[in-house]
Amino acid sequence: MLRKPGSLYEGRRSSTFLKIKTVYDAEAVVVDNDPGKGRNTDVTGALKCEMEGETFNLGIGLSDKQRKNPPKVGSIIVYRFQELTKDGVRFPSYIGETVDKTEPKDAETPEHRKAGAAKKGEDDDA
């Protein structure tokens, strides 16, 4: 959290506090397209992607135009995420398709930013 210098706590939403979230970029291979539901019936609802042997769905960030004409299976896409967990990618969001790559770049997240990473001193046997 960032606070405007000299500001006071207001106890409600305020423009004097700003929450900063760390995000990371990575690449994955599209392995399938899942059909959409509701408003996205008849178009792609999510891309089924694979990164480092793990499969995950990615639907956030796709425009209506991209849902009608999604990246082809085998394409390498770029996506943004908040962290890696033992269950997979947290909050993946589509950024775009690469045009000059044949292999995806693995996600790089500092160890201390991975979900479930112990904080300093928590694993110490004191």
Q: What is the pTM of this model?
A: 0.74
pLDDT tens digits along 10-51: 888 888 988 898 899 999 999 999 998 999 889 999 999 998
pLDDT tens digits along 91-115: 999 999 998 877 787 767 666 656 6
Predicted confidence at residue 86, as pLDDT, reads 86
Structural domains of the chain, ranges and CATH numbers in brackets: 24-108 (2.40.50.140)
Predicted confidence at residue 126, as pLDDT, reads 43
Stretch 53-60: mean pLDDT:
91
Specify the length of the chain in residues. 126
Cα gap 71→65, rounded to integer Å: 11
Asked if 25 contacts 93 with a C-beta cutoff of 8 angstroms, the reply is no
pLDDT tens digits along 68-82: 999 999 999 999 999
